[in-house]
Structure 1
Amino acid sequence: MESIENNNLMKIGIVVDNIEEAAKHYAELFGLELPAIRVPDLNRVPEHTESGYTWYRGTFIPGRVKLANLQMGPVTVELLEPYDEPGPWNEFKQQYGQGVHFITFTVPGFERHIDFVEGKGFPLAHKGEYGKGRYSYFDTIAKLGVTLGLQEIGEPKDKPVMPKAVEQA
């Protein structure tokens, strides 16, 4: 493998302070229907299994975030309002405030693409599996100016690998 096998940008993730206000402004500015806002159940305790997990910097986390998707041509703009708990979205908000957190590309062969990107010196920071899809983020801000995300939708093209949790002290 010599490069990531898709250079078509699919998704831009923007961390916002108030998702309801941000979604309203985007919808008004672009003449879009107000998107549904997904609000996770904060009382649900996630079970991390091979078919559904959220892993972040060596630990399984709830992976909760308020989320709204705006389809803008071929690109999805994903608005994210993080909760004050460990996770990539809250980490970004604490370090940078509101802003573009990630850009995502859809790839065939998720695990081999993770190996390729890590082999280029960008460690895997976040990985999630949700039934018929999987996504990952890499530590790329210092060199790319944004977090690189990869996703695969549908049946995996290679054998899924559930990350291991690092023992907590």
Structure 2
Amino acid sequence: MGKLYGPVMQMGFVVDNFEEPIKHWTEKLNVGPFFILEHLDLKYFHYKGNKSVIDFSVALSFSGNTQIELIKQHCDTPSIYNEYSNIKKGSLHHICRLTPNINNDIEMLESQGYQNVQAGETSDGGIKFAYLDIHENYGSILELAELAEENLAVTEAIKNASKNWDRKNSTIGIEEILT
């Protein structure tokens, strides 16, 4: 079977707040700066086949070519972030791989026994994501993400900002790198 998707490009962690984990990543691990995207706007979200509405934010940075994603859920909506598995908050939650055709890759993985546990799409259609599990949890969940060109450009801008980080600020507004 051919390769379905790209290399692992992200490690995702579910956190209760951003302050402490960002302090740890920036001060102890020299990873930064982080870009906080508050209350992501989704036009579609499902968890275990049930459509619903979720409120969450992410903080993003890079360590080399690997994106570090911190996820904070603001509501009690059932999701992979607040009730899936026995993954401890702050531990590795998922790895993410980019794909140019998320629907095709989901279908192929489902044929291999994976279950599409959670999926969504941003309101602007720029990001589609799905979390898949095979119930043989060998350490983390697999996320697939399909990004539109403008979102790939934002990801690259965050990566470049991380490469050139002067350690003066642990967080920077996303608008500062998009101008």
TM-score where L is the length of structure 1? 0.75
C-alpha contact 2:113 2:134 (8 A) present in aligned 1:
no
SS in 1 for 2:86: helix
| Residue 96 (structure 2) aligns with | 104
Cα distance per residue 1:109-152 (max 9 Å; x no partner): 21110110000001111111121221111123524331111111
Q: CA deviation at 1:77?
A: 0.7
Aligned residue-pair number: 145
Q: CA deviation at 1:33?
A: 4.1
Separation in 2, partners of 1:88, 1:5: 23
Aligned partner letter, 2:66: V
SS in 1 for 2:57: strand
| Residue 53 (structure 2) aligns with | 62
SS in 1 for 2:93: strand
Percent identity between matched residues is 27
Q: CA deviation at 1:101?
A: 1.0
C-alpha contact 1:11 1:77 (8 A) present in aligned 2:
yes
| Residue 16 (structure 1) aligns with | 15
How do 1:42-57 and structure 2 match up within 5 A?
Answer: 52-57=43-48
Change (3 A) 1:24 1:141: farther
| Residue 114 (structure 2) aligns with | 122
| Residue 154 (structure 2) aligns with | none
SS in 1 for 2:82: helix
SS in 2 for 1:108: coil
Aligned partner letter, 1:23: I
| Residue 31 (structure 1) aligns with | 30
SS in 1 for 2:83: helix
Separation in 2, partners of 1:66, 1:153: 18
Change (3 A) 1:110 1:144: same
| Residue 170 (structure 2) aligns with | none
C-alpha contact 1:125 1:136 (8 A) present in aligned 2:
yes
SS in 1 for 2:69: strand
| Residue 148 (structure 1) aligns with | 142
SS in 2 for 1:87: coil
Separation in 2, partners of 1:34, 1:141: 34
Q: CA deviation at 1:72?
A: 1.3
Q: CA deviation at 1:9?
A: 0.9
| Residue 166 (structure 1) aligns with | none
Structure 1, unpaired ranges of 5+: 156-169
The CA RMSD over aligned residues, in Å, is: 2.3
Aligned partner letter, 1:122: Y
Aligned partner letter, 2:62: Q
Give the ranges of 4+ consecutive aligned residues of structure 1 lying more than 4 Å apart after TM superposition.
Answer: none
TM-score where L is the length of structure 2? 0.71
SS in 2 for 1:89: coil
Separation in 1, partners of 2:120, 2:73: 16
